[in-house]
Amino acid sequence: MLTDTAPVLALIQARLGSSRLPSKSRLPLPLGAVGDAQTILGHVVSRARRAASISNIIVATTEQPLDDEIVALAGRLGAGVFRGDEQDVLGRFAGALAYAGDVPTLVRLTADNPAIDPAFLDAAVAHHLATGADYTHTTGLPLGTNLEVISTAALRRAHAEARQPDEREHVTPYLRRHPELFRLETLALAVPPAVAALRLTIDYPSDYALLSLLFTELGPHFSLTDPAELPVLLAQHPWLAAINAGNEQVRA
């Protein structure tokens, strides 16, 4: 995992205080699975760990007592933990960077996106480093699987300068709003249209139902790129895409 020339930190944003699906990060995936590695957070950590570019993983959670469970779970998964402000997520990320030490690049992940693809994560990091970008985001993937790569210098600057509430709560808006200050890159990635149209984030019970079915049918390491996995399953059962298609996206 470790790359000596350019260590990359996977920073996973997590909390248990969801109003739509409480304590979702520690739900089993698929339904009925047993063990810490089979929780939603466990899958995010596992998939980040399988990316060759990732040198370290830290779960950035809140100081709320409810999130003591996140701290314990992350520890059992072998991930580092940093606790910070619940609403000022940008400040929480800056604090986690200070805790992590001298890491020039980070990948922002969230604990409700358990289907991120390690191959695409590596592709996003490679593009970010090759272009000298401050901020790179991917497009073209299912909702919940696109990626953000950020230079730590840019994130620290955003932390020092961002003032709007949404810029503090959502981490990257200040970067995206200031192309005159930061080098912004977009990496377009391609998957079959039926796969790209899926909603693979977990905000609602129906989101959890879809991901539970996919993890049951395809296993914990299914890929977005394997033509024999998701495309075949969707061709056999096109109704799968309708399970959560009507859900409103919750901004992260």
Residue among 26, 30, 29, 96 at smallest CA distance from 61? 96
pLDDT tens digits, 126-146? 999 999 999 999 999 999 999
pLDDT at 4 over 90: no
Given a contact cutoff of 8 angstroms between Cβ atoms, the answer to whether 191 and 225 are in contact is yes
* pLDDT confidence tier of residue 1, bands split at 50, 70 and 90: very low
Domain edges within the chain: 8-190
CATH architecture for residues 8-190? Alpha-Beta Complex (3.90)
In this prediction the pTM is 0.95
pLDDT in tens, 23-76: 999 999 999 999 999 999 999 999 999 999 999 999 999 999 999 999 999 999
pLDDT at 248: 85
Q: What is the pLDDT of residue 252?
A: 47
- 15 contacts: CB under 8 Å, gap ≥ 6: 25, 61, 62, 64, 66, 67, 70, 86, 111
pLDDT over threshold 60, residue 242: yes
Tell me how far CA of residue 53 lies from CA of 48, 81, 117, 120, 172, in angstroms.
9, 20, 13, 11, 21
Share of the chain residues as helix, strand and coil, in percent rounded to the nearest 5: 40, 15, 40
